[in-house]
Structure 1
Amino acid sequence: MSSATWIVVAGEGRARIFASAEDSSTLQQVDDFSNEHHSATMLTEKQAAAYSESERKEKERDKFASQVAAYLEDARLHERFVRIKIVAEAKFLGALLSHLSEHTKKLIFDKVSKDYSSLSDSEIEEILKRG
């Protein structure tokens, strides 16, 4: 069983997962997800016509949040972390939380409504050190 703390840094277009060991303040990137639907919709013209722009964005955000949540659920089942901090854009944070199981939600020790997903690894590390 790992003793790592995972930090999820996410927005609607990208989600990165970092690990931090108990005895280290250094972050190590575990994975990096890109939302391929963020900049261009994959809906057909007929489907796109059925939804407003905001509805399409919401559906794409929800689908991406579901993918990230599935990854976290699998990692929890394989005991790859013992706790999680989530730093995400507010709407994405809500969508992500809605897809997580109660077991995984119990491992969340902090939630921050900020979108740092476009920052470099070193910028994220510096922000997280400051608290």
Structure 2
Amino acid sequence: MPTTWTIAANAGRARIFSDADNAASLKEVEDLVNPAAQQRVLDIVTDKMSPRSAQNSGHNIGGGQGGGFQHAAPAGAQGNDYQPAVTPAEHETQKFAKDVSNYLQQAHQAGRFQQLVISASPEFLGVLRTQIDPQLKSLIKREVNKDYTHSNGQELRAQLDAHQDKSA
């Protein structure tokens, strides 16, 4: 019988359970934690000067007497309207999803599981989907859009079974 791993995850934590021994409770095999999820955004962002902030400093970059490069904003651009495409918190969430995906990939290659059930908070589930390798995606037998990271193995199994009954 194939071993199924069940993942209960959110942006701060991914708990991985196994049903290898077919007990009433799932057995926890790994607890991955994203320490950046506990940090404030100000602690994640570095204090290095970006090219955008250098542009407003009035200093030349890269040389002496007129030989340096002067930053200039595009025509019509304001100096303080820059919005990053991804916030620091979103970037850390993407990195954590990639770490979870890499862990799963290595475990699958080692033959530790053959099927996956993923239960994750809606936000993290979307990010995790973008990071999971296509080979792993083919192993997913069910996805649940709920955060059950605070559940133990027995509670998780009961909640997933109840969720399956509602969707059937």
Q: How high is the TM-score relative to the length of structure 2?
A: 0.67
Partner SS, residue 38 of structure 1: helix
Q: Which one has a bigger Cα radius of gyration?
A: 2
1-side partners of 2:8 and 2:149: how far apart? 6
Q: Would the aligned equivalents of 1:82 and 1:107 in 2 still touch at CA under 8 Å?
A: yes
Q: Would the aligned equivalents of 2:25 and 2:153 in 1 still touch at CA under 8 Å?
A: no
Q: Is residue 3 from structure 1 mapped to residue 5 from structure 2 by the alignment?
A: no
Partner SS, residue 16 of structure 1: strand
What is the correspondence of 1:31-46 to structure 2 with a 5 Å cutoff? Answer: 31-40=30-39, 41-46=43-48
1-side partners of 2:153 and 2:22: how far apart? 19
Q: Is residue 59 from structure 1 mapped to residue 91 from structure 2 by the alignment?
A: yes
Uncovered stretches (5+) of structure 1, i.e. residues with no partner: none
2-side partners of 1:79 and 1:24: how far apart? 20
Q: Would the aligned equivalents of 2:4 and 2:18 in 1 still touch at CA under 8 Å?
A: yes
What is the correspondence of 1:85-100 to structure 2 with a 5 Å cutoff? Answer: 85-100=117-132
Q: Is residue 117 from structure 1 mapped to residue 116 from structure 2 by the alignment?
A: no
- Give deviations 1:81-106, integer Å, cap 9, x for gaps: 11000000112112112111111100
CA RMSD of aligned residues (A): 2.5
Q: Would the aligned equivalents of 2:44 and 2:88 in 1 still touch at CA under 8 Å?
A: no
Q: How high is the TM-score relative to the length of structure 1?
A: 0.85
Query: For residues 55 and 4 of structure 1, do their structure 2 counterparts lie closer, same or farther at Cα, with a shift above 3 Å needed?
Result: same
Q: Would the aligned equivalents of 1:75 and 1:81 in 2 still touch at CA under 8 Å?
A: yes
2-side partners of 1:91 and 1:115: how far apart? 10
1-side partners of 2:25 and 2:154: how far apart? 10
Uncovered stretches (5+) of structure 2, i.e. residues with no partner: 54-81, 164-168
2-side partners of 1:57 and 1:43: how far apart? 9
Residue 105 of structure 2 corresponds to which residue in structure 1?
73
Return 18-27 or 98-107, whichever deviates more.
18-27
Give the structure with the higher percent strand: 1
